[in-house]
Amino acid sequence: MQFVFEIILNLVGFLVGIVIGILSYVGYKNTGSPTLFRLTIAFLSISIGFGVVGAGFLTESLVIKSGEIEPWVQTLGIGIQTIGYFFIAFSHSIKAFFPKSRYFRTLAIPLFVVPGNSIEHIIRSISFILLIYGTIETILSYMANKKSSTVFVASGLGLLALGEFLGWYSVVFPQSILYYVSISTKIAGLGALFVPVSKVPLTGMKFGGSL
Amino acid sequence: MSIIGDILATTRDEAPDESGASVTYLIRKANVSHVRLSKILEMLVQQGLLEQRSSDRACKYKISDRGREFLQAYRGFREFADNFGLRI
């Protein structure tokens, strides 16, 4: 059971993602809001992505037992997570189609240019950029609204971005502790995203009707 | 969506009298054109979120029980989206 740590962390990611995804879906069904629909797709994708990687590790440790997860499984899981990050960034891009920050542009463009030797490198770099964009937009929203719970979401997206960045480096330095730090950071990020969501008073509502 | 929330909140919290809020009053509160407000009000009445009360002088609109539930849900999910720095 050498993959126990990965299985547990990916399971936590799966659960946190699915809870936020379901809350978003309930919100979409009640209000018909396109924003909540995009958040539903985002968090269900993130959840499924974690689930695919976790299932890959689980299958490997219980069935295949070759000592290494199939690379395509990890790439597929990360790819599905990237779709989720895209939809978070896309929701923000509705407000401002292109980032206004000149700093972000200078940060983002070289990361696209960095040559990747595999699809996983490219996907991780795209995830990182999308998450950084989402983080910056959320921080800008906080500066406009001064709503403290928005800081948790910004921190969560920032930690997910850091987790992706570390995950990118863990491909360069395999067998190092970086992978574990990467997954732990991403789980901490999802936890931070969950904090404000758990405080939203969603009880006592009649669901089922929609506009 | 925010206009719908504003209209429902106005009919619940700021209606000038028991019979409900008039179109003129809602236009002023929601800051939308008469044509647009009429379409929204028609839709809200069809959905059962508002009750239309006709009198000799004008139509008035009052929030229904379903409208109150929707408004409560809307505020909860608006808070949810706000946390992400988004608007529903």
Name the band, by pLDDT with cuts 50, 70 and 90, for residue A91: confident
Is a pLDDT exceeding 80 seen at residue A52? yes
Name the minimum distance, in Å, from the CA of B43 to any CA of chain A.
9
pLDDT at A178: 81
> How far is A210 from A43, CA to CA, in rounded Å?
21
> How far is A94 from A90, CA to CA, in rounded Å?
6
- CATH number of residue A63's parent domain: 1.20.1070
Residues of chain B with Cβ-Cβ distance to A147 below 8 Å are 82-83
Is a pLDDT exceeding 50 seen at residue A154? yes
pLDDT at A157: 92
Does A150 reach chain B within 8 Å, measured CB to CB? yes
Residue A202 covered by a domain: no
Chain A residue with CA closest to B73: the answer is A205
Is a pLDDT exceeding 80 seen at residue A202? no
3-class DSSP assignment, residue A177: coil
Buried b (16+ CB within 10 A) or exposed e, B30-52: bebeeeebeebbeebbebebbbe
Instruction: Sketch out chain B's domains with CATH numbers.
Output: 2-83 (1.10.10.10)
From the list B47, B70, B85, which residue is nearest A138 (CB)?
A: B85
pLDDT at A80: 93
Is a pLDDT exceeding 90 seen at residue A173? no
> How far is B45 from B61, CA to CA, in rounded Å?
9
> How far is A151 from A133, CA to CA, in rounded Å?
15
Residue A203 covered by a domain: no
DSSP assignment string, B13-73:
H--SBTTBEEHHHHHHHHT--HHHHHHHHHHHHHTTSEEEEE-SS-EEEEE-HHHHHHHHH
Does A197 reach chain B within 8 Å, measured CB to CB? yes
Lowest-confidence range among A29-43, A106-120, B24-38? A106-120
Residues of chain A with Cβ-Cβ distance to B80 below 8 Å are 23-24, 27, 36, 197, 200, 202
pLDDT at A155: 93
Lowest-confidence range among A100-109, B28-37, B74-83? A100-109
Does B24 reach chain A within 8 Å, measured CB to CB? no
3-class DSSP assignment, residue A194: helix
pLDDT at A107: 41
What ipTM describes this predicted complex?
A: 0.72
Is a pLDDT exceeding 60 seen at residue A180? yes
Name the minimum distance, in Å, from the CA of A148 to any CA of chain B.
9
Domains contained in chain A, number: 1
Does B88 reach chain A within 8 Å, measured CB to CB? yes
Q: Which domain holds residue A91?
A: 2-197
Residue A71 covered by a domain: yes
* pLDDT higher at A204 or A155: A155
DSSP assignment string, A17-66:
HHHHHHHHHHHHHHH--HHHHHHHHHHHHHHHHHHHHHHHHHHIIIII-S
Does A158 reach chain B within 8 Å, measured CB to CB? no
How confident is the model over A115-140, as a mean pLDDT? 79
Could you give the dihedral angle defined by the CA atoms of residues A50, A163, A43 and A106, in that order, rounded to the nearest 10 degrees?
A: -140
Residue A207 covered by a domain: no
| Residues A14-27: tens digit of each pLDDT | 998 899 999 889 88
pLDDT at A174: 67
Residues of chain A with Cβ-Cβ distance to B4 below 8 Å are 211
Name the band, by pLDDT with cuts 50, 70 and 90, for residue A119: confident
Q: Do A23 and B87 touch (CB under 8 A)?
A: no
What average pLDDT does chain B have?
83
* pLDDT higher at A78 or A3: A78
* Residue A67 φ/ψ region, left for φ over 0, alpha for ψ in the -120 to 50 degree band, beta for the rest: left
